[in-house]
Amino acid sequence: MWKKAFQKIDNSSLVVFRIFFGIIFLAEAVGALALKWVDRNFIDTRTNFTFIGFEWLLHLQNETMYVVFGLMAVASIGVMLGYKYRFSVIALTILWSLAYFGQKTSYNNHYYLMWLIGLIMCFLPANANASIDAKLNPAIKKNYMPQWVRLVFIIQVSCVYFYATIAKFYPDWLDGTVTRNMFIGMTNVPETVQVLFKKTEFQLFIAYMGIAFDGLIVPALLWKRTRWFAIIASLIFHIFNSITLQIGVFPYFALSFCVFFFPPNQIRNFFFRKRPKEEYHGETAADYVTIFKYFFVPYLIIQILLPIRHWFIKDDVLWTEEGHRLSWRMMLRSRTGEVTFKVIDKKTNERLTFNNTELLNEKQRSRLNAPDVIWQMAHKIKDHFKSQGKDVAVYAMRSSVSINMRPSSRLIDQNVDLAAEEWSHFSHHDWVLEEKDPKDQPVKTNSIQNLKDLKHQK
């Protein structure tokens, strides 16, 4: 099996994917600038919720981000054309890291996947053909790659869909609550379509089709007899999501992975018909052993294990969010609520006046319903008063949170000074309370406005 992983295969799928990858990132970078996404998330803000441990990125969150996304567009073109590829793809991945780890207000799972694939592409010879690099330096030109390159992408995609499938097996998804709430909040479609979206049968159909698609798409793509059915299903599924959910480049990014599920020679015949056909009879590509053993094996182990960490953390991840991020728990719930903080001067025991609007915009305030963001906010408040020469304790007094439009429950223990607490990525925090009521509480279907940011809460 080990030897088979290093057998030479045609590299057309990797080369074609490199071109798609560059185009998709170019669209993401240009779109973020043109549609003012950069302004809303980095420029027109007083602070931001970075990934915990990446607070130093706040120093870049000003007009510098225009430069970051401009350079990202340039690097994307370099990747697409295969020009100074190694420099271009590393630069692109680093630049995207500044944006991805620098804010959680507009978090999307596909931002994480784009970062992972950028990291993978840094180590692969995707410029070995159909590139400016290969034209300028014929010595790097190759028509082959080891079999494991193709398998890395297949395993990565399999992780995404497998864990997305498992996560959907919970009551609110199975009874259509999630899809019902999702469709109620959609006002960007024609009235005739809205009528369809309101039908219980359609809501359940979409819920179970979501499970079926996520669970079966990889096996269907791998099996020759069902591959083209899977391609058609993918087109319908992702275009439907693109139109209804408006989730940017992700549907097209997901479709680009299909090139790795076709036989390599088939990809070559379709995209590079003039390329001379080469046959590899069990020959191995021994020059890629080191990178596979010391980077890709540990990488794949992490990708398989990281999404299951929430199973080892106390309480329901749907409520606590502990272990939710980076686990491919996509479009599973709506989550609403906002916290009111009590700030106490430790020296005088006086209650100080503070309002969330002093630091946060409206969209950022709507994210104050997850423990990690609430914890970060408490520390921001502490720093805010520290700049005024005051040492404070910060308590979450009203932290009512609603999942899938159920009646709200208190999320945070109001007797704990959050500004004095440490954060752990792999364990439960005792100041996160259990949800008071079971998930069979009645759904408040009249709270349509609570769903406006659902597509960002993934």
- Separation between Cα atoms, residue 441 and residue 140, nearest integer Å: 62
pLDDT at 281: 67
Q: For residue 228, count other CB atoms closer than 10 A to its CB.
A: 12
What is the structure's pLDDT at 198? Answer: 87
Measured CA to CA, the distance from residue 332 to residue 173 in angstroms comes to 7
Instruction: Encode 7-30: b = buried (16+ Cβ within 10 Å), e = exposed.
Output: bbbbbbbbbbbbbbbbbbbbbbbe
Strands 351-352 and 335-337: unpaired
Residues linked to residue 144 through DSSP beta bridges, in sequence order: 10
pLDDT at 436: 77
Report CA-CA distances (Å) from 110 to 114, 122, 394, 424: 6, 18, 34, 24
Which of 128, 137, 124, 82 has the alpha carbon at shortest distance from 278?
Answer: 128
Say what the pLDDT of residue 192 is.
82
Which amino acid is located at 453 in the chain?
D
**pLDDT tens for the 458 residues of the chain, in order:** 667 888 989 999 999 999 999 999 999 999 999 999 999 999 999 999 999 999 999 999 999 999 999 999 999 999 999 999 999 999 999 999 999 999 999 888 899 999 999 999 999 999 999 999 999 999 999 999 999 999 999 999 999 999 999 999 999 999 999 999 888 877 777 778 888 888 999 999 999 999 999 999 999 999 999 999 999 999 999 998 888 888 889 999 999 999 999 999 999 999 998 887 777 766 777 778 889 999 999 999 999 999 999 999 999 999 999 999 999 998 888 899 989 999 999 999 999 999 999 999 999 999 999 999 999 999 999 999 999 999 999 999 989 999 998 899 999 999 999 999 999 999 999 999 998 754 444 444 433 334 444 444 44
What six digits make up the tokens of 359? Answer: 């630091």
Q: Tell me if residue 403 falls in helix, strand or coil.
A: strand
**Which pLDDT score is estimated for 442?**
47
**Beta bridge partner(s), residue 340:** 398
**Domain boundaries of the chain, sorted by first residue:** 2-312, 334-456
pLDDT value at position 458?
Answer: 45
| Sheet with 351-352, edge to edge strand ranges | 351-352, 340-345, 392-398
- Look at residue 207 in the predicted model and tell me its pLDDT: 95
Q: What is the 3-state secondary structure (H, E, C) of 127-179?
A: CCCCCHHHHHCHHHCCCEEEHHHHHHHHHHHHHHHHHHHHHCCCHHHHCCHHH
The pTM of the full predicted model, rounded to 2 decimals, is: 0.92
